[in-house]
Structure 1
Amino acid sequence: MLLRALLRPCARAVCSPGPRSYVHTALDISGIYPPIATPFTDREQVDYGRLEENLQKYADVPLRGIVVQGSNGEYAYLSREERLEVVRKVRQVVPKEKILIAGSGCESTRATVAMTREMAEAGADAVLVVTPCYYRGRMTISALVNHYTKVADTSPVPVILYSVPANTGLDLPVDAAVTLAQHPNIIGMKDSGGDVTRMGLIIHKTQHLGFQMLSGSAGFLLAGYSVGAVGGICALANVLGAQLCELERLCVSAQWQTARTLQYRLIEPNAAVTRRFGIPGLKQAMDWFGLHGGHCRSPLGPLTEQERQELKKVFMDNGWLQSHH
């Protein structure tokens, strides 16, 4: 535990650029978080009862917190009211010592500012703000810095940058991340791109600020820790949360050989529930592991039978599922 404490970034006190000056003490976000799925009924309504049952099962896992309305929560298919209600329900169930991070990103800066405030009011401890991407050709470093600065200036809670190029077609540029890390209300970044060199460079250029990097996928969780990341927001944590927490423990206690063996067994299942089969694959795996994955909201559809068999084989081949499933 001592080593883990040493690896955690210290609280920082940084003066905001410009005429306004204030001190912000960073929230320590180190640890493992599942970006939880949103259960739906067969009529595609949010199933709050099953959501609560999933959260009660996650309470038995040593997760640092919960991420709500990330990509795996199908936030792009939820109305504003549904997004906020899901966060309220999660906050009612999740104990205060667990960090609740809510996705508040929208395409416009104005809408993101408003959603960020509302997510804070709904109970979020921090917000995860995805890069706007619809007009990605004009998402220059200047545009992105301006967007995030306005959000962070007005946010009642700390802001975490979110780069997920597989979904947005846009990598948050290193220079933009380094500039934004100087803002006292921007405390970290979730990087889902998988370029560990890039992650390491951002950490190298921002570590004096206490800026915290989170790996955005279980496939490179060990690699992230090796270059200075403090945790991960990983889709696979919805299914193998205990195993990812064990990988975290091995990394922060420098048991690299054992950690590597475990990491190898997570790579294929992680790819299967992210790039290969996406959210329908994640929800199917959740069903096998005693959680409520269930239906997706249209236009996302279920896996075909062939896809289900392929997904099952991946989990079986890596020793996570038995043949009776």
Structure 2
Amino acid sequence: MHGTGVPLITPFDADGDLDEERLREVVRWVEDGGVDFIVPCGSNSEAELMGVEERARVVEVVADETELPVLAGTGHPGLSETLRQTDLAAEAGADAALVVTPFYYGHDGETLEAYYRDVADESPIPVYLYSVPTYTDVKLSPEVVGRLAGHDNVAGMKDSSGDIETFQRERRLTDDEEFDLLVGSGSVYAHALASGGDGGILGLANVAPERASEIFKLHQAGEDRSARQLNAELVELNRAVTSKHGVPGAKAAMAERGVDAGYPRKPHREVGDDVRAEIEALVDDLTP
């Protein structure tokens, strides 16, 4: 996976059920916005609020709707559920699996490495590591990443730590392998690309797919200064629809752009009027 990927928002109706037609519309929206690949069932997708079969159905709908590569989130706290989810994703048409670090219980680096080797050994599709310590309180070390990069079925990683030093170390330790290193924080996208990243999986790309994609295109054209400048302009919007207001904020921002992304699934709640006004102002200022 290279370029700009989107951890696809999952639309739910007012009763909390998956809205498949809206999901298809969201796929078309991000595709028209220029993203390079689609990531259903990630953190921004509310995957942890969905069951195994429901997540598989989301992947199936997305894979049916798009010709872009599909990197499906399949990670669970336990190995058995992760392997089952990965098999279902492959059957649904996913091209690769994004596997979050096991969470809830604490695990040391040796345990995490063994876990990923087990997943990669059994997975019918390539595996991407996923480190998102903000949500899991688990962070893969660059040394573990470097060793796992040598596995034949470990294809890359999404690093959502936001730590450029860690990202640079991961790049150095995986340089000798065919390993796609992707950043998960839109606020440092341009900086990660300049540090050797192959792309990003950005919550921002749900709201402003054309702007997020533009950062990568500027980098490809050798215009890293312009890429950093654009990235800086988008930091407040990115922050509003990720760390500050989360999925409800992202869905409100998409509505402002004319995209019906449905309701957030409980226990999430829709944003209030003050937050909606804040988000609308950011969207109006920073998107075409």
For the criterion TM > 0.5, the same-fold answer is yes
Structure 1 residues 172-211: aligned runs within 5 Å: 172-211=140-179
Shift of 1:315: 3.1
Does 2:34 correspond to 1:67? no
1:119-268 matched pairs, under 5 angstroms: 119-136=89-106, 139-268=107-236
Q: 1:261: how far off?
A: 1.9
* Deviation (angstroms), 1:176: 1.4
Q: C-alpha distance in 2, partners of 1:305/1:214? A: 35
Distance in 1 of aligned mates of 2:226 and 2:110:
43
Cα separation, 2, equivalents of 1:305 and 1:74:
22
Q: Does 1:307 align with 2:275?
A: yes
Does the Cα contact within 8 Å between 2:8 and 2:40 map onto a contact in 1? yes
Task: Give CA-to-partner distance per residue, 1:175-208, whole Å, 9 cap, x none.
Answer: 2111111111101110111100100011011111
Matches within 5 A, 1:268-283: 268-283=236-251
Alignment pair present for 1:291 and 2:263: no
CA distance in 2, matches of 1:169, 1:233: 20
Q: Are 1:30 and 2:2 matched, yes or no?
A: yes
The CA deviation at 1:257 is 2.3
Percent identity over paired residues: 36
Residue in structure 1 matching 2:66, options 62, 87, 94: 94
What TM-score do the two structures reach when normalised by structure 2? 0.97
Which of 76, 80, 83 is 1:110 aligned to? Answer: 80
* Alignment RMSD (CA, Å): 1.2
Contact 2:98 2:130 in 1 (8 A): yes
| Partner Cα separation in structure 1 for residue 149 and residue 212 of structure 2 | 27
Deviation at 1:281, TM superposition (A): 0.3
1:267-311 CA-partner distances (Å, limit 9, x unpaired)? 111011111000000010011112122311110111111221222
Secondary structure, aligned partner of 1:128: strand
- Is the 8 Å Cα contact of residues 51 and 292 (structure 1) preserved in structure 2? no
Letter matched to residue 203 of structure 2: A
1:320 aligns with 2:287: yes
Shift of residue 117 of structure 1? 1.3
Kindly state the Cα deviation for residue 53 of structure 1 after the two structures are TM-superposed. Answer: 1.3
Map of 1:76 onto structure 2: 48
Residue 17 of structure 1 corresponds to which residue in structure 2? Answer: none
Q: One-letter code of the match for 1:131?
A: T
**TM-score, normalization: structure 1?**
0.86
Q: 1:112 and 1:55 mapped to 2: Cα distance? A: 25
Say whether 1:44 aligns with 2:16: yes
CA shift, 1:70, in A, is 0.3
Q: Which amino acid aligns with 2:94?
A: A
Contact kept in structure 1, 2:4 and 2:35, CA below 8 Å: yes
Q: CA deviation at 1:230?
A: 0.5
Counterpart AA for 1:62: G
Moved over 4 A (4+): none
**Partner letter of residue 102 of structure 1?**
A
TM-superposition CA deviations, 1:62-116 (whole Å, max 9, x none): 2211100000110111111110111111111111xx1101000011112111211
State which structure, 1 or 2, has the greater radius of gyration over its C-alpha atoms.
Answer: 1
Count matched residues.
288
Distance in 1 between the 2:110 and 2:228 partners? Answer: 39
